[in-house]
């Protein structure tokens, strides 16, 4: 199977570079984008390449930076301007592929697997982008070229500014395995310290550790670290036009009085699910995992989840599943103060396989969307679900 071709484009010293592009008289001066230079509490947000030579650090106080470089020019940030430059960058990237995934305002991944041949190959695309950004925007980018997102990102970090670095399937270990583990996006200081305690200091060290050991220490994150550092990274580059699915849709409430009976709990559950499912249908989503959190009158909380064998956005389906889950762990003699329901494992409804009981499933779907239509036209109170009609629900 052919490797993917992924680019990671990182605008060098983005804020400061934009300021220099818009004010050419600042190009040859040490410059920092910062807070108010009149206040000693202001900090450095970004700096240009000249300022970096004075060892000025992002996040340090302006007065500290001025001690290192008395001639440092400080300017206020202009986020609206940076947003416009970011969109111009993305427009350049989109001329090569529709698969452009932003990672912050100044970084993007590009998947050019299906389009590189149109422009002469990956390295030619990368260098053409680099030259176009300089000519059209007056700033520079560093670009990593690789077979996956992780090593494309590492490639853009290896040479700065205004450079292209190739990390192929054959060279990535040689060029990156001596790098510190903090080079991997997502490994923060706390995780780095935990790995250091296991004598893991470099990417190469991490690659040598048995995956089972990392899983036992870090769970799913351990498996992801192990696989990605060894080159098994199949994370897709998302299109700028694709709306990212939410992780979950949830709703919760604290009742105006403590409840305990199954009937009262069912009324709250239906009330919450009615709102959750309406929001899911509005976004054309279905879910396959339910979570329930209950807080008792002593403020003790319990949380349980269950995966379903189907996707749904129907109150009728979820009501019985949620009640079954609650029955499995809750004693109704104990009073409840607050309830929260969450539906996750989301997918677009039009991509969900139809139920085997298709006729029944379609009847429920038509009913749900008819309710939504009537509520949108005549108001939310035009239809209420019978189970949610208890008096204490109206005040929730």
Q: What is the CATH number of the domain that holds 199?
A: 1.10.150.20
For residue 75, is it within any domain?
Answer: yes
Residue with tokens 């108010």, as numbered in its chain: 36
- 138 and 186 part of one domain: no
CATH number at residue 48: 3.30.70.270
- 158 and 185 part of one domain: no
For residue 294, is it within any domain?
Answer: yes
- 323 and 376 part of one domain: yes
For residue 243, is it within any domain?
Answer: no
Closest CA to 235 of 109, 49, 96: 109
Pairing of strands 164-167, 141-146: parallel
- 265 and 222 part of one domain: no
- 187 and 154 part of one domain: no
Burial of 74 (0-12, 13-18, 19+ CB in 10 A): buried
- Is pLDDT at 174 greater than 60 in this prediction? yes
Please give the pLDDT value at position 186.
Answer: 78
Q: Which helix (H) or strand (E) holds 47?
A: strand 44-47
- 16 and 127 part of one domain: yes
Residue with tokens 């680099």, as numbered in its chain: 130
For residue 171, is it within any domain?
Answer: no
- 382 and 331 part of one domain: yes
61: pLDDT confidence band, cut at 50, 70 and 90?
confident
Count Cα neighbours of 2 within 13 Å in the Cβ-side half-sphere.
6
Mean pLDDT of all residues in 164-171: 96
Q: Which domain holds residue 32?
A: 1-166
For CA atoms 50, 51, 55, 59, the dihedral sign is negative
298: pLDDT confidence band, cut at 50, 70 and 90?
confident
- 266 and 373 part of one domain: yes
For residue 154, is it within any domain?
Answer: yes
Q: Name the pTM for this structure.
A: 0.64
Mean pLDDT of all residues in 181-188: 87
Spatial separation of the C-alpha atoms in residues 139 and 223, rounded to whole Å: 38
Count Cα neighbours of 37 within 13 Å in the Cβ-side half-sphere.
15
Among 107, 114, 192, 320, which one carries the catalytic annotation? 107
Q: How far is CA 190 from CA 59, 187, 206, 214, 320, in A?
A: 19, 8, 16, 16, 42
- 330 and 259 part of one domain: yes
For residue 361, is it within any domain?
Answer: yes
Q: Which helix (H) or strand (E) holds 149?
A: helix 149-158
Please give the pLDDT value at position 371.
Answer: 59
- 181 and 161 part of one domain: no
- 266 and 350 part of one domain: yes
- Average pLDDT in the chain: 86
pLDDT in tens, 230-268: 999 888 898 866 666 788 999 999 888 888 888 899 999
CATH number at residue 302: 3.30.1490.100
For residue 236, is it within any domain?
Answer: no
Domain boundary among 166, 185, 217: 166
- 39 and 150 part of one domain: yes
Phi–psi pair at 58, nearest 5 degrees? -65, 130
- The SS3 of residue 6 is strand
Spatial separation of the C-alpha atoms in residues 227 and 148, rounded to whole Å: 12
Question: What is the biggest distance separating any 2 CA atoms in the chain, rounded to whole angstroms?
Answer: 76
Closest CA to 144 of 86, 103, 201: 103
Domain boundary among 117, 140, 166: 166
- Is pLDDT at 390 greater than 80 in this prediction? no
Mean pLDDT of all residues in 288-304: 90
Residue 107 is among the residues annotated as catalytic for this protein: yes
Would you tell me the crossing angle of helices 262-282 and 315-329 to the nearest 10 degrees?
140
Please give the pLDDT value at position 382.
Answer: 53
For residue 256, is it within any domain?
Answer: yes
- Is pLDDT at 380 greater than 80 in this prediction? no
Number of domains present in the structure of the chain: 3
- Is pLDDT at 353 greater than 50 in this prediction? no
């Amino acid at each position: 199977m052919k490797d993917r071709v992924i680019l990671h484009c990182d605008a060098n010293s983005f804020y400061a570079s934009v300021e220099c592009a818009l004010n050419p008289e600042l190009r040859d001066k040490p410059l920092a984008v910062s807070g108010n230079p009149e206040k000693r509490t202001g900090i450095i947000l970004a700096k240009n390449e000249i300022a970096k030579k004075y060892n000025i650090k992002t996040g340090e106080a302006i007065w500290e930076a001025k001690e290192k470089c008395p001639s440092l020019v400080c300017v206020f940030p202009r986020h609206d301007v940076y947003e416009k430059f970011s969109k111009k960058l993305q427009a350049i990237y989109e001329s090569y592929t529709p698969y452009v995934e932003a990672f912050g305002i100044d970084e993007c991944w590009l998947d050019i697997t299906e389009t590189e041949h149109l422009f002469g190959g990956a390295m030619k695309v990368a260098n053409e982008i680099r030259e176009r950004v300089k000519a059209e925007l007056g700033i520079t980018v560093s670009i990593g070229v690789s077979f996956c997102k992780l090593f494309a990102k590492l490639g853009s970090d290896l040479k700065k500014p205004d450079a292209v670095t190739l990390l192929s399937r054959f060279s990535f270990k040689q060029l990156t395995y001596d790098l510190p583990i903090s080079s991997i996006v997502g490994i923060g200081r706390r995780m780095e310290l935990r790995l250091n305690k296991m004598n893991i200091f470099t990417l190469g060290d991490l690659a040598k550790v048995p995956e089972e050991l990392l899983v036992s220490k870090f769970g799913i994150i351990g498996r992801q670290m192990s696989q990605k550092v060894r080159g098994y990274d199949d994370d897709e580059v998302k299109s700028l036009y694709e709306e990212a699915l939410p992780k979950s849709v949830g709703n919760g409430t604290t009742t105006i009085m403590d409840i305990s009976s199954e009937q009262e709990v069912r009324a709250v559950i239906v009330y919450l699910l009615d709102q959750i499912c309406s929001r899911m249908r509005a976004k054309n989503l279905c879910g396959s995992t339910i979570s329930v959190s209950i807080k008792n009158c002593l403020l003790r909380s319990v949380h349980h989840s269950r995966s379903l064998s189907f996707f749904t956005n129907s109150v009728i389906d979820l009501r019985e599943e949620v009640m079954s889950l609650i029955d499995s762990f809750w004693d109704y003699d104990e009073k409840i103060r607050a309830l929260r329901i969450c539906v996750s494992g989301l997918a677009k409804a039009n991509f969900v396989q139809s139920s085997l009981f298709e006729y029944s499933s379609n009847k429920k779907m038509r009913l749900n969307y008819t309710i939504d239509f009537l509520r949108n036209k005549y108001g939310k109170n035009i239809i209420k679900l019978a189970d949610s009609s208890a008096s204490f629900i109206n005040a929730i």
